Amino acid sequence: MAVFGLKISPEEPVYVIGVVCKLVNIPVWTLRQLDKAGVVTPKRAGKKNRLYSLKDLKRLEYVHYLMEKKRVNIHGVKIILEREG
């Protein structure tokens, strides 16, 4: 197995929405709603394509925890994240 040694910055937007959906176990529709609510702001490639960074993925893992385990809705998640800074 070859290792390329690529180093990607945690802020570099490289993950498309379909991949993010699988990695963080959040449906595409919910990811779009989170974007619309300003909970996470992926970069845009063109008009339609959202690109997420590793930093976004970490935030979305926490969002998933809040939504699934703590039963917080999107509006509540936004408030929690704003208060936590």
- For residue 30, which amino acid is it? T
Using the predicted structure, report yes or no on whether residue 21 has a pLDDT greater than 80.
Answer: yes
Task: Dump pLDDT digits (tens) for 63-72.
Answer: 999 999 999 9
Location of structure tokens 């929405």 = 17
Q: Residues 43-70: what's their mean pLDDT?
A: 95
Angle (CA) 23 36 15, round 5°: 30
Q: By the 8 A CB rule, do 44 and 5 touch?
A: no
Fold of the 15-84 domain: Multidrug-efflux Transporter Regulator; Chain: A; Domain 2 (1.10.1660)
Is the pLDDT at 1 greater than 70? The verdict is no
Of the pLDDT bands very low, low, confident and very high (cuts 50, 70, 90), residue 7 is confident
